[in-house]
Amino acid sequence: MRLGALVLALALTACGSLLPKPGPLPQLYRLTPLPPAEGAQALDLQLAVDLPAAPASLDTERIALMAPPLRLDYFARSAWGDRAPAMIQSLVVESLADSGRIRVVTGRSGEVRADADLMIDIERFDADYEGPGAPEIHVRLIARIMRDRDAIAVRTFDATARAARNVTPDIVAAFDEAFHTALGELVPWTADQLAAMRR
């Protein structure tokens, strides 16, 4: 019995040495919300921001890139700190709340009875290597403001930014720039639509 156990242990040890060793952990990155605004008058309503919808290729922590011809890939050893939809939801909630234009802004959790819902589809969130040199970042969000299952406003937000160099920190900085451009339009648009809804 002991001899059999010893042989089994040696066999398992030998198999373990043949397994691939885990590679280095990826470097994690995150984007930033818009800076807080001051002096805005808050609408007396509650807005819920649903978790954005995204295709499977973008519903991941991996940082997407487009390589010619029309090939989707991901950066090696680099990742977002959360799945892209969850990261974007958090940044939209924080930016809307910090705008001071809406009394309560929350993620969809069922904890508050929202007056309206903001639903977002992520169509593009990638680094495009179609041209020479450093990539161009593309962000495309389709936003819908919903009330009682009816869409009261729909708009597409497109933004691009060119990375200064083809290195990951500069590429992430360009993601942040493009995303800020889209957020800078989405936040006031959302508040304006909600204000019109209350009239």
Rg of the Cα trace of the chain? Answer: 22
Query: What confidence score (pLDDT) does residue 20 get?
Result: 58
Query: Cα separation of 45 and 9, whole Å?
Result: 65
Query: What confidence score (pLDDT) does residue 70 get?
Result: 83
78 bridge partner residues: 27
Distance of CA 79 to the CA centre of its chain: 11
Kindly tell me the burial class for residue 141, based on how many C-beta atoms sit within 10 Å of its own C-beta (0-12, 13-18, 19 or more). buried
Residue with tokens 């933004």: 159
Q: Band the pLDDT of 1: cuts 50, 70, 90.
A: very low
- pLDDT tens, residue by residue, 30-80: 999 999 988 778 999 999 999 999 999 999 999 999 998 889 999 999 999
CATH number of 47-198: 3.40.50.10610
Query: Cα separation of 119 and 125, whole Å?
Result: 17
Say what the pTM is: 0.86
Name the more confident of 183 and 23.
183
The lowest-confidence range among 93-102, 103-112, 131-140, 155-164 is: 103-112
Query: What confidence score (pLDDT) does residue 103 get?
Result: 94
Query: With the C-alpha atoms ordered 53, 59, 61, 66, is the resulting torsion angle positive or negative?
Result: negative
Backbone angles phi, psi at 6, to 5 degrees: -65, -45
- Single-letter code of the amino acid located at 164: A
